[in-house]
């Protein structure tokens, strides 16, 4: 998969993809991430990318031309499955959307800043608008990092058997069961006997039961 990220702050995304699973995905050639700065298409000698909004009001708006030229240059090179704008008024992101997006070949993620982007970009270029939750971030970059991480780890070959995405919380609309590792007792706090029993069937049943209980208690909405 290839993900092109349009951002005025690529520095903000330097580190998140250089570690752990994301690094493995890149090293294996399974995930390619490229940054594009609309500033390179900015207007005039100041490379302007934002301006006051028509009708008045506080806050700058990202202009259409630098974003449009940036997007069009990319579209000349390849076909994109989705052009996603990260915005608090988009569809709330979840595992199901991550699963769907992970099946694509080429994605563009547009990170907004300031008061937002000229509506015409959304009307004429954007195919999907995603929010990562009901709170406001100062820009789309951290949201983009969350999409890339959640999508990247679903790509076939990125995770191994032990870390398989099949067992994640949410993958079957259940939260994950509790996990334990050595020692089997610490300060008198014991690991549940069943996990030390060696009985795979009993362990599976226990885990399923715990997942169900935890989901009922914490996220009953997932069971509807």
Element containing residue 91 per DSSP (H, E): strand 82-92
CB atoms within 10 A of CB 165: 18
User: Using the rule CB under 6 A, is 10 a contact of ligand 6GU?
Assistant: no
Question: At its nearest, how many Å lie between ligand 6GU and the CB of residue 133?
Answer: 5
Per CB under 6 A, contacts with ligand 6GU among 57-86 are 86
Copy the structure tokens of residue 179: 């996990």
CA-wise closest residue to 109 among 93, 85, 125? 85
State in angstroms the smallest separation of the CB of 149 from ligand 6GU: 14
Quote the least distance from Cβ 90 to ligand 6GU, whole Å: 6
- Using CB under 6 A as the binding criterion, the count of chain residues that bind ligand 6GU stands at 12
Residues near 203 by Cβ (< 8 Å), separated by ≥ 6? 194, 195, 197
Instruction: Specify whether the backbone of 81 is left (phi greater than 0), alpha (psi in -120 to 50) or beta.
Output: alpha
As a residue count, the chain comes to: 224
Site residues (CB under 6 A) for ligand 6GU, limited to 87-106? 87-88
Looking at residue 117, what DSSP letter applies? B
For ligand 6GU, give the closer residue by CB, 87 or 215. 87
Any contact of residue 7 with ligand 6GU (CB under 6 A)?
Answer: no
Q: Which of 58, 123, 136, 166 binds ligand 6GU (CB under 6 A)?
A: 136
CA distance linking residue 120 with residue 123, whole number of Å: 5
Q: How far is the CB of 105 from ligand 6GU (least distance, A)?
A: 22
CB-based contacts of 127, cutoff 8 Å, min separation 6: 82, 83, 84
**Closer by beta carbon to ligand 6GU, 35 or else 167:** 35
Q: Which of 64, 97, 139, 155 binds ligand 6GU (CB under 6 A)?
A: 139
Q: What residues make contact with ligand 6GU under the rule CB under 6 A?
A: 86-88, 131-133, 135-137, 139-140, 143
């Amino acid at each position: 998969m290839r993900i092109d990220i349009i951002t005025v702050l690529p520095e903000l995304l330097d580190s998140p993809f250089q570690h752990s699973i994301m690094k493995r995905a890149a090293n294996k050639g399974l995930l390619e991430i490229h940054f594009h700065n609309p500033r390179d298409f900015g207007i005039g000698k100041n490379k302007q990318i934002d301006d006051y909004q028509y009708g008045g009001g506080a806050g700058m708006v990202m202009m259409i031309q630098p974003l449009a030229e940036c997007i069009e240059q990319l579209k000349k090179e390849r076909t994109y499955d989705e052009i996603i704008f990260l915005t608090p008024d988009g569809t709330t992101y979840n595992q199901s959307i991550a699963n769907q997006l992970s099946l694509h070949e080429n994605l563009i993620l547009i990170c907004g800043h300031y008061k937002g982007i000229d509506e015409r970009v959304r009307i004429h270029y954007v195919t999907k608008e995603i929010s990562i939750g009901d709170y406001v971030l100062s820009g789309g970059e951290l949201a983009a990092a969350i999409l890339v991480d959640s999508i990247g780890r679903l790509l076939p070959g990125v995770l191994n058997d032990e870390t398989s995405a099949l067992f994640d919380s949410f993958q079957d609309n259940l939260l994950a069961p509790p996990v334990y590792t050595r020692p089997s007792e610490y300060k008198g706090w014991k690991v549940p006997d069943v996990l030390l029993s060696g009985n795979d069937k009993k362990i599976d049943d226990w885990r399923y039961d715990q997942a169900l209980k935890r989901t009922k208690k914490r996220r009953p909405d997932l069971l509807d």
